[in-house]
Structures are given as structure tokens and as C-alpha cells.
């Protein structure tokens, strides 16, 4: 039997292991464009099935790129740089040039300075050992910034291949669909989903007679917030529209809870405002520091939601970390959730996030 690949995700079709990637019932093989059961369900019922996957296999697949020549487009989620950046990309892809693309710019508040975002992305990549040729901001879904990026792609690839890489859920499928529909008018050529882990193989999209754009597997990062929460909660914490800042004036010894997924304690400093940029649907709860632990013990999953009951089963315990904020206009970034802008420095805060979720400071983007 010739190997057949799923038209949706690119996984090799197999008919013997329903729990594994690429499974299709034997009857499906009679059709012309075979898609795996998982993509079938996604396409027709908008329902994603979990299949077990191995992060090492994905990285091994990406490593194949280092033996070839081509331009690498690394997509990251602007709201989750640390969760969506593939560390070790340099090692995985060899000396190929890399363009870094920040996706989901449509949810950035209008007040955000795009040049500052690009600068921050570039610097963050460099801190992780990756020098990039260029940085672009796009919205794959709203088709913003794609024309500029396409032009740069043609310039940098010099007639060669393009490899699009990214962790699951950064919007890689959406991006490629948009690219395809911009050039060919074809809609939804590749499966998209709400949930991580859809893109399971290399999909080959011809650019011209001699070169292709390859959609590579979505690498899974364990510390992505998306892996800790249920599908329902992911919808709550993922901004879908432009994020509206919520401002809290706090005194020392006050606490903010972001649902029950993160917490900020204002330890010391004079009264100041905390400008919170999170999904508009994520409820922020203010309390006194002295009551904060009790509130968590007694009301997690009720007053403090998300987490819902399914998330609570897998959510790691909160870990705390204290920061001295020295500079004015500093952002405290909760990877995968959002950020808080602190307009005035010289304060001490303690943040609590699920173990593995990264918190970092950056110069404010506003």
C-alpha cells in the first residue's frame, strides 16, 4: 500500500491504532481526499480528539530542517512569548535565516506601540540565543500584516523553500490558510482548531515550480498555559477581541486574583495603579493580602474561576516569586495570560502562577 497522508493535518494515514495520529477507518480510504478521523471530527463537528504525541518526535522532525537550505518563519503568540518560543531553534534548524513573526496582533490594545513590541520580541529571541533577520507583527485571523510579511519572505528566501515553525496554538494553521487564500482564494485548506496539537505532519505547499512552503508539526511546550487548562477555560483566558485595560489602584498589602490562575500581591510601596491587560472575559478579583490565602483555599473554582473542575484536576500548584520593580513604566508579563503595567517603579510585588508558567519583566509597551 502506498503511503497516504491526511489532507487536513499531514499525518500518515493508518487504520490500526485509533488512539494514534493519522487514524482513519478503512472505509475512509475509498475516498479521494483522505482525512484522518481526528481532522474529520474537527471539520464536521468542530471537535478535537486528543491523540498522544511525543515532543521529542516533533523536535526530531524539525531537526530535519538543519540538513536543508531554506528560510525559517517562526511564529509566536504575542500574548505567550515564553510559552510559544521554540528554544533551541538555532540548534534544530542550523544556519538557516529566521524571521520572527508575532501573531494575534488584533488583540493588542490600540495604545500599544508596535515598534516596541517588535523590539521586545527581537530582544527576547536574542536572550534565548536566536538572532533573527527581521520581526513582523501579524494577525493571521484578520489578515493583517500578511502582505508585508509575504514580500519579506520572497526577498529573504531567494527562490528557496520556506519552513513555518511554531508551537501548537500559535495560529500556524490559520496563518498558512490565510496565506493560501490570499494567493489562491482557497479557504480552510488546513485544519484549524481552538485546541493545541492539530498540525501533525509536514504539509507541502508549492510556492512555485522549484520551491515549497512547509508547514511543520506544532511543537508542544509543556509550560504553555494552554496545556494546564480545560478547553472551556482556554476560551476564557484567550483574548478574542482587542484587550481593554482594567485599572486597579492598590495600597500595600492588597492582592489581585486573575481568576484563580494567577495572583499578584502588592507587598510594599506607595499607593499606585496596576493596569491589567488580560482577556476581557477573565475576572479579576481584589482582596486584602491577609485574606488572600483563605480565599484561594475556600473559593477556588467558585469565586475564583477559571479554573473549572476539569482544569483543577491538572493545574499545578501556584508558585510564588518576588520582584523589586525599579523602573517606572514596567510590564509584569504572565506568559499565556497577559500582563500588568506598573506606571511607577520602586515597589515590591509577589506573583503566584502555576509551576512552570513564566513571569518576566519588560519595559512597558505603551
| Interface ranges with ligand GDP (CB under 6 A) | 103-104, 106-107, 139-142, 166, 168-174, 192-194, 196, 198-199, 218, 240
User: What is the distance between the alpha carbons of residues 121 and 135, in angstroms, rounded to a whole number?
Assistant: 8
Residue listed under C-alpha cell 497522508: 5
Residue 111 or 249: the one with the smaller Cβ distance to ligand GDP is 111
Angle at 107 between CA 101 and CA 111, to 5 degrees: 100
C-alpha cell at 56: 521529542
Residue 146 or 262: the one with the smaller Cβ distance to ligand GDP is 146
**Is the Cβ–Cβ distance between 112 and 207 less than 8 Å?**
no
Residue 53 or 194: the one with the smaller Cβ distance to ligand GDP is 194
Least distance between ligand GDP and beta carbon 279 (Å)? 10
Least distance between ligand GDP and beta carbon 203 (Å)? 11
Least distance between ligand GDP and beta carbon 193 (Å)? 5
Helix ranges restricted to H, the chain: 37-45, 55-63, 81-84, 89-93, 114-127, 146-157, 172-184, 231-237, 289-299, 309-314
Instruction: Report which residue's Cβ sits closest to ligand GDP.
Output: 171
Least distance between ligand GDP and beta carbon 235 (Å)? 9
User: What is the distance between the alpha carbons of residues 132 and 73, in angstroms, rounded to a whole number?
Assistant: 10
Residue 65 or 347: the one with the smaller Cβ distance to ligand GDP is 65
Least distance between ligand GDP and beta carbon 218 (Å)? 5
Least distance between ligand GDP and beta carbon 117 (Å)? 14
> Can you count the helices (H) and strands (E) in the chain?
10, 16
Residue 255 or 279: the one with the smaller Cβ distance to ligand GDP is 279
Residue 101 or 130: the one with the smaller Cβ distance to ligand GDP is 101
User: What is the distance between the alpha carbons of residues 17 and 21, in angstroms, rounded to a whole number?
Assistant: 8
User: What is the distance between the alpha carbons of residues 196 and 170, in angstroms, rounded to a whole number?
Assistant: 9
Amino acid at each position: 500500500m502506498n503511503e497516504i497522508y491526511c489532507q487536513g493535518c499531514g499525518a500518515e494515514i493508518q487504520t490500526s491504532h485509533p488512539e494514534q495520529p493519522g487514524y482513519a477507518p478503512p472505509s475512509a480510504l475509498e475516498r479521494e481526499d483522505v482525512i484522518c478521523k481526528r481532522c474529520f471530527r474537527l471539520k464536521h463537528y468542530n471537535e478535537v480528539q486528543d491523540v498522544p504525541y511525543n515532543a521529542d518526535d516533533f523536535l526530531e522532525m524539525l531537526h530535519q530542517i538543519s540538513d536543508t537550505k531554506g528560510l525559517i518563519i517562526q511564529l509566536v503568540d504575542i500574548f505567550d512569548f515564553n510559552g510559544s518560543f521554540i528554544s533551541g531553534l538555532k540548534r534544530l534548524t542550523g544556519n538557516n535565516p529566521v524571521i520572527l513573526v508575532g501573531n494575534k496582533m488584533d488583540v493588542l490594545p490600540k495604545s500599544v506601540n508596535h515598534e516596541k513590541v517588535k523590539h521586545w520580541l527581537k530582544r527576547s529571541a536574542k536572550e534565548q540565543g536566536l538572532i533573527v533577520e527581521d520581526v513582523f507583527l501579524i494577525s493571521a485571523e484578520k489578515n493583517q500584516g500578511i502582505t508585508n510579511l509575504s514580500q519579506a519572505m520572497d526577498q529573504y528566501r531567494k527562490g528557496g523553500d520556506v519552513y513555518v515553525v511554531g508551537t501548537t496554538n500559535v495560529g500556524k494553521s490559520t496563518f498558512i490558510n490565510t496565506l493560501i487564500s490570499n494567493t489562491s482564494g482557497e479557504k480552510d485548506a488546513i485544519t484549524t482548531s481552538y485546541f493545541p496539537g492539530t498540525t501533525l505532519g509536514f504539509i507541502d505547499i508549492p510556492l512555485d515550480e522549484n520551491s515549497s512552503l512547509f508547514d511543520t508539526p506544532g511543537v508542544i511546550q509543556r509550560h504553555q498555559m494552554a496545556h494546564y487548562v480545560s478547553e472551556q477555560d482556554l476560551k476564557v483566558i484567550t483574548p478574542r477581541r482587542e484587550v481593554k485595560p482594567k485599572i486597579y489602584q492598590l495600597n500595600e498589602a492588597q492582592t489581585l486574583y486573575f481568576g484563580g490562575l494567577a495572583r499578584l500581591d502588592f507587598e510594599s510601596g506607595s499607593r499606585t495603579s496596576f493596569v491589567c491587560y488580560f482577556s476581557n472575559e477573565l475576572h479579576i478579583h481584589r482582596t486584602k493580602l491577609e485574606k488572600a490565602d483563605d480565599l484561594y483555599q475556600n473559593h477556588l473554582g467558585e469565586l475564583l474561576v477559571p479554573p473549572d473542575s476539569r482544569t483543577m484536576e491538572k493545574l499545578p500548584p501556584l508558585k510564588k516569586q518576588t520582584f523589586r520593580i525599579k523602573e517606572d513604566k514596567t510590564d509584569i508579563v504572565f506568559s499565556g495570560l497577559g500582563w500588568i503595567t506598573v506606571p511607577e517603579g520602586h515597589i515590591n510585588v509577589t506573583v503566584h502562577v502555576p509551576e512552570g508558567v513564566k513571569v518576566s519583566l519588560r519595559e512597558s509597551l505603551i
